[in-house]
Structure 1
């Protein structure tokens, strides 16, 4: 166990221990960094664990030096563990949320609980991957795990994650594979693992998987996705869960669903945020989230009498002009004592040639979209890579959609929860999907995105079954939108926009789909909360003081460029320069540049092409490494095609090159 110099704070001394090696039963050792309150020398303290593949000595270090140092100042042992095969931990990573990862996690919890500086009570905290596995480990219920705070997470790995949405294939299935391809390619730290670092790195690279090969092979909700989906058995969770999300994030649905599903103590918070910890999140307002965490753990790990707020707290967003980058937005906080809430009613709006209203229509409606529609939308998971990932003005996309508007509202309407859409439709193809967007048509003519829902029409009987459509035969389908809390002001119109394409978020079907809608069987059902006189939930000021420092060596940057190529291909090119930083507490230098290209022609879904290139640099002084990872996805009418390459460099020397090339048949997608 190596100790760095103690960090002195106004609350007392903190010892930072790194590396701390945690042994697994198979002999593998996982690397940990521990923020230890000095008081733990004499009196044991509860432990708060964060368990990630993102590298504790550079990848998440800036955030960890805020979160875990703050927790240590407040009487907890903060622990960051690198998942097997990542950072400095031994072994190989085979997949996300694998049985090995979760079994290792249980062993880590047991080891921590057995240390003389631990009271025997362990909590977990984490965002995204760390939010997922915190809840998954709570489902496995190791006795020492008493509570967890799970942020930007899901409880359903198929229906509500980065791979598929509504049974539709997300391009982020490949995008996330490309990201983990790059993340896991980085070397261990020679200062930690020693002179064998190159051999360890090469062994890891030779065994590194390309995750999309697995994820693309499971296009239905089968046993693969049911594994580690907590919604399969909520009752197994015994720990107290604080579920947290943000409306701008991809994972807001899991918060209300988990509150409704768990039988263990549970509370929730959904703010306006993207994919960030709420104390450093955007859009503002950020909150004093670590105070919420402390109150939660004080009660469930220390037995403090003060009861945490057990309600479901939500930020109701006000209408704002649409913008790709929105650092703050207006709104108010509300709270529901239980969820689903008996205070929220439903309002039916019928689809007709007149728009959305109280009367059913009689004239058939038609939906047929160019493949380029969707370029005005937000990234699937805003905040994961840059600040410029929110939805733009929706008018560009709406010009090529079926759009149905209400009359201007006579009074404001609070949409709280998940809207539902029922359609009676007649397709002209055996497969395809429909995308529904709920939007705010503002008096100035701009159109702001509110929420969306999708359905792969071959999944209309469930995501575990593919049922081809019969061209020319009517069917009835129903699906839900993503949860939201949004106030549509008086004088604004609520808009429903329908399309049969949504690029670049959703990979296109094999053939363009045309739908005829029978208005007699088409209704939008929205959840409406009445005005209630109530006190707004209150939060402390955001905790944003880091116990550490990083020196920028190259600034961050972002460019977005759209162009039409000579053959009519519409190209979107994003370049995200993550900058180059030196993390002073470890002296690690890390930098990245991400280039993403999406190509498609308006009349040809089989022209879809997605290319991703990540360039990572990791080093310290004379030790400098670089990895280059590229992945390209294309398709034809029957299959998806993947080509990928990994190159790893020690200085200017290329140590290894690996190539992948394979195809995966379409399965109703």
Structure 2
């Protein structure tokens, strides 16, 4: 029996021994044992010939005259700067390129002991970190959440770096979260010297992030807005000044930052086609997903890192499935900032040795997808795949059925079965206190979901019988729920969970939909066959007088449900710690249908080796 945290730890351990799980064709190439190139392990192809680095900083003036603060960290040996021109790998950073403490000491990104570029620089690369316009020591004002000028800044910075005498003319990028998304935006401008990028935990669709299923994600947005305001207005940490800059230059930059777009104003734009002030459309014109074709035209190679418990696993897989450039992705049991079990520095080094130094280390001979299955033993937890979802995964319908399952004292204690149910309904009075907890994937910090059994007791639940065999899944579960409600609108949240014999219920994944956004539309990109809700203002409509179907996907996952456990789907109408659900008075009652005509169900992506 394993708790949820133990399952994740098991998967992390498996990733830590990635070296024993490599494709046969790559293993055959390793005739010389000291030359090894595989995820997390890299020997004999390049050497750490440097032993330190030297920091300097400059202002780079971009095309509209804005001055961008850039740190440059060049490798040294014995205290002497490198003499050869080297490739540059840089980050377009939202959260301070460098800071200065009260004693005047400056701390760069490479002063972080866990920073992946510490390893990379010693192998003969220049690291650069630019503060995005409107932040830190950079000048400028941010006019919306993803300013279009910022992408052009990335073009100009890339080409400036490439033109420096200490640069070989080959440039790459790295970074996580905002810096991950910024790489796709940079690639969309096709800088001639940008050869490859390494985005981690990056956004694909700004609307789906702010309004998943049409429901405002207020907690994250409020917290993030407060955080970036602190950085932009120098309230938290003082940004390091640029070398030689006068003290009043920071004050000038600060004055420009005061007019930055307040991201909490996203509450004023609830639809995908909403307009705000002079911005034509926040979620269309400057949405990362809108630049797919331009990224493909750039030819820039892409290696992504994603996490099953991050906020962006679906986004990263949407990027992957829409990219036509050379591409790879690794997905593990990580949240937004975890990377346990995978040496990020090693992967960045392998990637850029190939794309920026021309070292044939076999990284592009590997299958394009490597993912970890949560819950499998360490010697079986890793899967290589040529596509996503894996060819070995097939959707299997598990129907909502009458109970009792005998596994939880919930509102209905229904059963989940692959056999079509006898006709029936379940009634549920909305409980606005239901929650997946304050440390969910949406909080950005370390994920720590509670035992979901407490939430389940306030919910409608549908649980399988005790599993007689292990059940492995890999892909995107999709929920179809037939409901009837007299309210004009309703939010629906679905949680896929694994129930242990002692009753503990472990969070696996979740999804949500506001009923008024239920209309299905043809997506503007490859959606992997998942339900797509355009969520234009004209698309929304109140609940009808009779039954209606809500269809939506849960975030992708790869998980082993152990024999002796149960699979559970929990349905609520609020996630109070994470999403903003209007509270109706009187409190609505919902009827869930489960019969042949209206078969409420979840399609579970069952993985069976071919």
Q: TM-score, normalised by structure 2?
A: 0.78
- Summarize deviations over 1:127-182 as a string: whole Å, max 9, x none: 000001111211222222111111111211111x2x22121111222222222222
- Residues 231 and 261, structure 1, Cα contact 8 Å, conserved in 2: no
1:470, distance to aligned residue in structure 2 (A): 3.4
Map 1:60-459; keep pairs closer than 5 Å. Answer: 61=109, 62-63=111-112, 66-159=115-208, 161=209, 163-171=210-218, 172-186=220-234, 187-189=238-240, 192=243, 193-196=245-248, 199-200=251-252, 203-204=255-256, 206-213=258-265, 215-222=266-273, 223-237=281-295, 238-276=299-337, 278=339, 284=340, 286-308=341-363, 309-318=366-375, 332-354=381-403, 355-361=415-421, 362-374=423-435, 376=437, 378-382=439-443, 384-385=444-445, 387=446, 389-459=447-517
Counterpart-to-counterpart distance in 1, 2:91 and 2:242: 22
Counterpart-to-counterpart distance in 1, 2:348 and 2:588: 48
* Aligned match for 2:563, one of 470, 478, 490: 490
- Residues 173 and 183, structure 2, Cα contact 8 Å, conserved in 1: yes
1:78, distance to aligned residue in structure 2 (A): 0.9
Tell me the SS of whatever aligns to 2:370: strand
Counterpart-to-counterpart distance in 1, 2:546 and 2:171: 56
Tell me the SS of whatever aligns to 1:455: strand
Q: 1:360 to 1:366 in 2, by over 3 A?
A: farther
Counterpart-to-counterpart distance in 2, 1:485 and 1:267: 18
Q: 1:303 to 1:122 in 2, by over 3 A?
A: same
**Structure 1 unmatched ranges of 5 or more:** 1-8, 279-283, 321-328, 533-669
Larger strand percent: 1
- Residue of structure 2 equivalent to 1:502: 575
1:191, distance to aligned residue in structure 2 (A): 7.2
1:497, distance to aligned residue in structure 2 (A): 0.3
Tell me the SS of whatever aligns to 1:169: coil
Q: 1:260 to 1:519 in 2, by over 3 A?
A: same
Q: 1:331 to 1:505 in 2, by over 3 A?
A: farther
Counterpart-to-counterpart distance in 2, 1:202 and 1:77: 29
Q: TM-score, normalised by structure 1?
A: 0.71
Counterpart-to-counterpart distance in 2, 1:251 and 1:268: 13
* Aligned match for 1:30, one of 68, 78, 82: 68
- Residues 368 and 499, structure 1, Cα contact 8 Å, conserved in 2: no
Q: CA RMSD in A?
A: 2.5
Comparing both chains, which one has the higher relative contact order based on Cα–Cα distances under 8 Å and sequence gaps of 6 or more? 2
Q: Does 1:47 pair with 2:120?
A: no
Q: 1:318 to 1:331 in 2, by over 3 A?
A: farther
- Residue of structure 1 equivalent to 2:590: 515
Counterpart-to-counterpart distance in 2, 1:501 and 1:315: 31
- Summarize deviations over 1:95-129 as a string: whole Å, max 9, x none: 33201211111110111112222222211111000
Counterpart-to-counterpart distance in 2, 1:205 and 1:231: 27
- Residues 409 and 493, structure 1, Cα contact 8 Å, conserved in 2: yes
Tell me the SS of whatever aligns to 1:30: strand
- Summarize deviations over 1:385-443 as a string: whole Å, max 9, x none: 4x4x4210011111110001001111111111110011221122111210000001111
Tell me the SS of whatever aligns to 2:207: coil
Larger helix percent: 2
- Residues 255 and 270, structure 1, Cα contact 8 Å, conserved in 2: no
Q: Does 1:475 pair with 2:548?
A: yes
